[in-house]
C-alpha cells in the first residue's frame, strides 16, 4: 500500500465543494477540512506509485477550485491506532 498526504489550498467559497469532489475520487480515502495555512488534508491510499501519480496528476488536477497543493509521500507508519485495529480484528467488544 502506498500512502500520501496532500495539503490543499482551495478558493474560499469552494472549500466544501472541493472537499466533496475530492472524496469521490478513487484512491482518496479521507478528506479533512482543517485550520491553518491549508484548507484540506487529503489522504491517498493506493497500491502503487503509478496509481498515486494518476490520482494526483490526472484526477486532482481536474477539480476546480484548487489553488495550490503540496504532496507528501509517506515512507513509514508509526501509529498506535493502526496496531490496535490490527490486533482487535475478530474480537468482540
pLDDT at residue 9 tops 80: yes
Three-class SS state of 59: helix
Cell of 19: 472537499
pLDDT at residue 61 tops 60: yes
For 40-49, the pLDDT digits (tens) are 999 999 999 9
pLDDT at residue 53 tops 90: yes
Residue 13: DSSP 8-state: G
Q: Which residues touch 91 (CB under 8 Å, ≥6 apart)?
A: none
Q: What angle do CA 60, 33, 43 make, to 5 degrees?
A: 50
CATH architecture, domain defined by 2-87: 2-Layer Sandwich (3.30)
Q: What pLDDT sits at residue 78? A: 77
Amino acid at each position: 500500500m502506498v500512502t500520501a498526504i496532500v495539503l490543499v489550498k482551495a478558493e474560499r467559497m469552494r472549500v466544501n465543494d472541493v472537499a466533496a469532489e475530492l472524496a469521490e475520487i478513487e484512491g482518496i480515502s479521507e478528506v479533512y477540512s482543517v485550520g491553518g495555512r491549508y484548507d484540506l488534508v487529503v489522504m491517498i491510499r493506493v497500491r502503487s506509485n503509478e496509481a498515486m501519480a494518476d490520482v494526483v496528476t490526472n484526477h486532482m488536477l481536474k477539480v476546480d477550485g484548487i489553488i495550490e497543493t503540496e504532496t507528501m509521500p509517506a515512507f513509514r507508519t508509526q501509529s498506535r491506532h493502526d496496531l490496535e485495529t490490527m490486533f482487535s480484528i475478530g474480537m468482540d467488544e
